[in-house]
Structure 1
Amino acid sequence: MTTTSVRFREGAGRLCLDFIRTLRYRGTPTASEELPDGPALAAWVRQCGPCSLDGVADSTQAARARELREAVHALVIAAVRTGDPTACGDDARQHLNRAAAEPVPVPVLDASGEIRWRADDPVTATLALIARDALDLVTSPAVTRVRECAGPRCGALFLDGSRPGTRRWCSMGTCGNRAKKTTQRARRRGSETEV
């Protein structure tokens, strides 16, 4: 599979949380980098960002994107675990502030009456949106709804939009389903040993 054909995971509830997921299975032995190069970053921007992107990103932009992703992760984890987003450290905070200061995409009304988003540099503009989204998230009441997936092999963060605020899985279709199957197998084994 080429890096440009990857289907990136979305649905974490915020753009910055979807971006963090590009290091799949974070903190596990099977961690997998989804942004190894410029073409992969361009594919992510095309799929998840608001702007169209005709060209490709380069390796420098991919390295900047991975650095930003780690700064966003540090910021969100600090806010969730300690209640203090500045506990992420000065380097991460300054990195996020610099990225957020870049120009963001602007809306343009096209001839058909549709809104299109435009930026001179769609990759940098999308990264600026991610940084701004992360800063907004950790300084808003929504940060109390950010959860770490209970899947032992997952490592994803997500925004819990459930009414009671007790969601445990980043996705019921993947991690939640695995947990249900594991529980069912354990019950079956337990009932077999009782016989």
Structure 2
Amino acid sequence: MRVAELFRQGAGRLCLDFTRTLRHRGTDHAVEELPDGPSLSAWVAQCGPVAAAPHVVPAALVRDAQHLRESVFTLLVLARAGRPLSDAAEDTRERVNQAAARPVPTPSLDERGDLRWHADDPVIATLALVARDTLDLVGSPAAGRLRECADPACNALFLDASRPGSRRWCSMETCGNRAKKQRLRTV
């Protein structure tokens, strides 16, 4: 059973969805969506492959996850700009590399043939997936399709998978709709 959706998804990659847990990044209205263990556990349960995450997540792991998120974001911004990843501080790259080296969830088929995922520590395993997804994305041509949402109140990164590569908003349902309403009001 999956938890109710609390977090924004749909940016095109797990690592991008993870960076969206700091809403309104770079503004005076920034909102931390992973302030504590239950929030991080809920994000893992909603966005990761492991069905259930532990409810007790140490504060140190929450801080590590927040630092990982910022390191991931830094690498994505560099890749989006076509800048060398060596422009990132060494500890930024090392944080992502270390997280990627941890064990990831493992798949197996149950007696009905359904795919199930297991991890001894679902939070650490899902963060390892985030880090591996980051490394895969920044090292691929898909990095050229990274976009920043055109909504100035959002600024979230997303992967533009549209054929022409001209998508402007992270979500047509939220940011795109808001922009269209604003444009109609000014006409």
TM-score normalised per structure 1: 0.91
Which of the two has higher C-alpha Rg? 1
5+ unaligned residues in a row in structure 1: which ranges?
188-195
Is 1:75–1:86's contact at 8 Å kept on the other side of the alignment? Answer: no
Identity, % of aligned pairs? 58
5+ unaligned residues in a row in structure 2: which ranges?
none
Greater shift in the superposed pair: 80-89 or 9-18: 80-89
Superposed CA deviations along residues 113-167 of structure 1, whole A, max 9, x for unmatched, are 1111111111100000000000000000100000000101101000001110010
Give the whole-Å Cα distance in 2 for the aligned partners of 1:111 and 1:89: 47
Shift of 1:86: 2.5
4+ residue stretches of structure 1 with deviation over 2 A? Answer: 52-55
Shift of 1:54: 4.7
- 2:124 counterpart of 1:124: yes
TM-score normalised per structure 2: 0.94
Is 2:82–2:144's contact at 8 Å kept on the other side of the alignment? Answer: no
Is 1:107–1:118's contact at 8 Å kept on the other side of the alignment? Answer: yes
Is 2:106–2:118's contact at 8 Å kept on the other side of the alignment? Answer: yes
Is 1:105–1:117's contact at 8 Å kept on the other side of the alignment? Answer: yes
Aligned residue identity for 1:90: E
The equivalences for 1:14-93 within 5 A come to 14-56=13-55, 57-93=57-93
Shift of 1:58: 2.2
Give the whole-Å Cα distance in 2 for the aligned partners of 1:131 and 1:54: 18
Is 2:96–2:131's contact at 8 Å kept on the other side of the alignment? Answer: yes
Name the structure with the higher helix share. Answer: 1
Partner of 2:175: 175
Partner of 1:164: 164
